[in-house]
Amino acid sequence: MMDIAGKKRLRLGILFYFSPKWMGGIVYIKNLIRILNFLDDDDKPEIVVFYRAELRKYAEQVDYPYMNLIEWDFPSVYKAYIRSWILRKNVFIEDILKNYNLDGVYPLQDYPLRTITDTRIVSWYADLQHKYYPEFFTWLKIFERNSRIRFMLRNSQHLVVSSQSVADDFKKFFRLRDKMKVHVFHFVSVIEDIDKLDIEEIRKKYGLPEDYYMISNQFHKHKNHRVLLQSMALLRQEGKEIHMAMTGRLPDATHSSYMRELHSIIADNNLKPHISMLGVIPRNEQLLLMKYSRAVIQPSFFEGWSTVIEDAISLQVPVIASNIAVNIEQLGSKGNYFNPHDAAELAEIMSKFPDRNLEMIIYDDYNERIKKAAEIFISIISN
């Protein structure tokens, strides 16, 4: 495809094949394409999105002028590795390279063997959480993650990670080839579809008061909702009450020991009237609620690069975050930090947190941040 000046547009393949249950991966790909809208038109690449059938509705939500959507039958991981070794070609990518003239492909995570091609194939890995918290994974999942990473590091030429913290972890836990290029690309959030929503209507829809904090994480152990509930219990003992809006996929408490523990803390401390568990709600409504919250809470033990924090930055919302290295890398001096094991420290921060000034500019300019991220991504995938 040519632009109006006759210059050939860069042609990029985007692999959209994550599990439909992993909203972090879905939001990552959608935002990756959306940031390209912030480039000058001459610099916008043509995008071919190869998507799993289950992700069709998410792919169709992205508005980008130079995009083609192609439903693709991605092979199962184990069978595809075996077939690749037998056929001596990477069946995860072979047909895409053969049938589509692409300058680059991103993100490929499976490299049973090296592919000889002029197309730049770039891999991506979110984080190495299993190295720090193996108790959150089955032994089979740990084996699978380590094996796929080792093949990727052996056979790929380019690896994108979302933070310097993750880049340092790869150097710590794995041996990297001299020719392996590790690129740090910071995910950024594009805010769309909230201008036509009314905050009063959305608060009424979900039964929220005017003053509330917000946490938007799936209910996994490493997301550390426990310390948040414990801090609310401490505040209540002191006669101080706050309201917490929680979004995120909600497992059945009867099948989750962690959820049973959380519900026990809520019941034992009579916190239910002060918590709104909203589950998975439309993203535009989630972002609007976040925009008008007193602050966003991010108490995780571990992150690769927090989508929630990026949402807050794009919305100019204060963040109270655990003092892990990646959160500090992401927020710098603009964050409000606490020890993720110390409920009392979090309680003290929330008890003294100031009222929102919706006109206050906390972070760098929205448009400049996103355009810079788009330019960095293009340089990684094309140079």
Q: How far apart are CA 166 and CA 156, in angstroms?
A: 17
Please state the length of the chain. 383
Give the pLDDT score at 279.
87
Give the pLDDT score at 228.
95
Q: Which fold has domain 199-351?
A: Rossmann fold (3.40.50)
In tens, the pLDDT along 233-277 reads 999 999 998 999 999 876 655 567 788 888 889 999 999 999 999
Read off the amino acid at residue 217. N
Give the pLDDT score at 261.
86
Q: How distant is the alpha carbon of residue 189 from its chain centre?
A: 9
In tens, the pLDDT along 46-58 reads 999 999 999 999 9
Which distant-in-sequence residues (6+ apart) come within 8 Å of 44 by Cβ?
3, 9, 36, 37, 65, 66
pLDDT tens, per residue, the chain with 383 residues: 555 555 688 999 999 998 888 888 888 999 999 999 999 999 999 999 999 999 999 999 999 999 999 999 999 899 999 999 999 999 999 999 999 999 999 999 999 999 889 999 999 999 999 999 898 889 999 999 999 999 999 999 999 999 999 999 999 999 999 888 999 999 999 998 898 999 999 999 999 999 999 999 888 888 899 999 999 999 999 999 899 999 987 665 556 778 888 888 999 999 999 999 998 899 899 999 999 999 999 999 999 899 999 999 999 999 999 999 999 999 999 999 999 999 999 999 999 999 999 999 999 999 999 999 999 999 999 86
Four-residue CA torsion sign, 372, 171, 307, 213: negative
Give the pLDDT score at 22.
82
* Domain boundary assignment for the chain: 11-190+368-382, 199-351
Within this chain, domains 11-190+368-382 and 199-351 share the same CATH topology: yes
Residue 155: closest CA among 194, 114, 183: 114
CB 157 within 8 A of CB 181: yes
H helix runs in the chain, sequence order? 23-34, 56-59, 77-87, 94-99, 129-132, 139-155, 164-173, 199-206, 225-237, 257-268, 283-291, 307-315, 325-331, 343-351, 366-382
Q: Which fold has domain 11-190+368-382?
A: Rossmann fold (3.40.50)
What single DSSP character describes residue 104? E
H or E stretch including 122? Answer: strand 120-124
Task: Taking each helix axis as running N to C, give the angle between helix 225-237 and helix 257-268, from 0 to 180 degrees, rounded to the nearest 10.
Answer: 10
